[in-house]
């Protein structure tokens, strides 16, 4: 046994002529928060689609707790403890926050009373009690993202994929998000894979970081190792300037005093 809750090996995906992922191998252990960073278009969301079963890879395998699930449906994977949030929000805007949390439990066994109790504890855990009765569609983006996280936790997941959860959040909300993610890893033994443009946030929260670039794993290691990795420095500082790189978001990485500084991309809003 590898000891990984989530593992991919040799994953390859093409979109016509575009190679979105090639030979991607990652592993996340129970209780680990692993960061996944890389420029826009690097393939981060595509990898999430492959892991969650929305997209079948042309090559490679996905394993949950050592079990090959590559041909399993998204629903099967969800029933076996895999949860994700989406880069684009997926809440029911015309339902209240609390009802969103109840709907997320529809497929769970248990009584209505138990579901309500779970919703109340999620509201508390995620700092959403004050907006329990608000319509999800009317929330500021940072709070809405927190509701999405709460939905993903409705049934405590074994593996949690978070796609840019901090985008649009205030510093305070980011702190709250970090605390909830830490709790999931430390107390619930959940394996978390976190995609985030806010590199400072990633580096603070994650013990290990994987860097994707043009669909390939460029580097992996502790935040310090990744910052110092010559391949990361070359890719970001080498002959390819930001204008030449496809899909590159301005400001992602800048050179300063001969060092690599991964800077935060401004929030979407
Ligand atoms: N449905 C799709 N059809 C065609 N190309 C796609 C599709 N989804 C993603 N791509 C391409 O695959 C690459 C990786 O995209 P994506 O996984 O969204 O990157 P990231 O999440 O890292 O920004 C990009 O070149 C993107 O344009
Ligand atoms: Mg993406």
Check if 45 has its Cβ closer than 6 Å to any atom of ligand 1: yes
Lowest mean pLDDT among 134-138, 141-145, 250-254: 250-254
What CA dihedral angle connects 17, 23, 24 and 26, to 10 degrees? 170
Distance CA(35)–CA(146), nearest Å, equals 18
* Domains (range + CATH), the chain: 6-81+157-262 (3.40.50.300), 91-156 (no CATH)
Ligand 1 pocket check for 42: Cβ under 6 Å: yes
CB of 36 shorter than 6 A to ligand 1: no
Residue 198 beta carbon below 6 angstroms from any ligand 1 atom: no
Compute the distance between CA of residue 178 and CA of residue 193 in angstroms, rounded to an integer: 13
What's the CA-to-centroid distance between 237 and ligand 1, angstroms? 23
Among 41, 56, 162, 247, residue to substitute to test ligand 1 (most atoms within 8 Å of Cβ): 41
87-133 pLDDT, tens digit per residue, is 887 899 999 999 999 999 987 788 999 999 999 999 999 999 999 99
Long-range residue pairs from 167-174, CB within 8 A, at least 24 positions apart, any chain: 167/87, 167/141, 167/196, 167/197, 167/198, 167/267, 167/268, 168/140, 168/141, 168/142, 168/267, 168/268, 168/269, 169/141, 169/142, 169/145, 169/267, 170/142, 173/142, 173/143, 173/145, 173/146, 174/198, 174/201
Interval between CA 213 and ligand 1 midpoint (Å): 12
Compute the distance from residue 26 Cα to the ligand 2 centre, in Å. Answer: 17
Counting from 1 in the atom list of ligand 1, the atom nearest the Cα of 49 is 17
Of all protein residues, the one whose alpha carbon is nearest to atom 24 of ligand 1 is 41
Q: How far is the CA of 88 from the centre of ligand 1 (A)?
A: 14
**Pairing relationship of beta strands 18-28 and 6-15 according to DSSP bridges:** antiparallel
Give CA–CA dist 1/6, Å, rounded.
12
Q: How confident is the model at residue 239 (pLDDT cuts 50, 70, 90)?
A: very low
pTM across the whole model = 0.87
For 170-195, what is each residue's pLDDT tens digit? Answer: 999 999 999 999 999 999 999 999 99
């Amino acid at each position: 046994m590898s000891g990984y809750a989530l593992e991919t090996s040799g994953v390859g995906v093409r979109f016509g002529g575009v190679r979105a992922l090639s030979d991607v191998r990652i592993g996340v252990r129970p209780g680990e928060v692993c960061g996944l960073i890389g420029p826009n278009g690097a393939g981060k969301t595509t990898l999430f689609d492959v892991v969650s079963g929305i997209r079948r890879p042309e090559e490679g395998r996905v394993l949950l707790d050592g079990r090959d699930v590559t041909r399993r449906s998204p629903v099967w994977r969800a029933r076996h403890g895999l949860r994700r949030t989406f880069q684009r929000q997926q809440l029911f805007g015309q339902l209240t926050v609390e009802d969103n949390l109840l709907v997320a439990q529809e497929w769970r066994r248990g009584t209505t009373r138990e579901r309500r109790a779970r919703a109340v504890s999620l509201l508390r855990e995620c700092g959403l009690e004050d907006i329990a009765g608000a319509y999800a569609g009317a929330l500021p983006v940072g709070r809405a993202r927190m509701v999405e996280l709460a939905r993903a936790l409705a049934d405590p997941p074994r593996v949690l994929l978070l796609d840019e959860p901090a985008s649009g959040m205030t510093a305070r909300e980011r702190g709250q998000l970090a605390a909830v993610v830490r709790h999931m890893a430390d107390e619930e033994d959940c394996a978390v894979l976190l995609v985030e443009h806010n590199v400072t946030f990633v580096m603070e929260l994650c013990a290990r970081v994987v860097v994707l670039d043009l669909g390939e794993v460029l580097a992996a290691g502790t935040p310090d190792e990744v910052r110092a990795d010559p391949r990361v420095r070359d890719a970001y500082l080498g002959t390819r300037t930001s204008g030449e790189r496809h899909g590159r978001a301005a400001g992602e990485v800048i050179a300063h005093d001969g060092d690599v500084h991964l800077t935060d991309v401004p929030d979407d809003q």
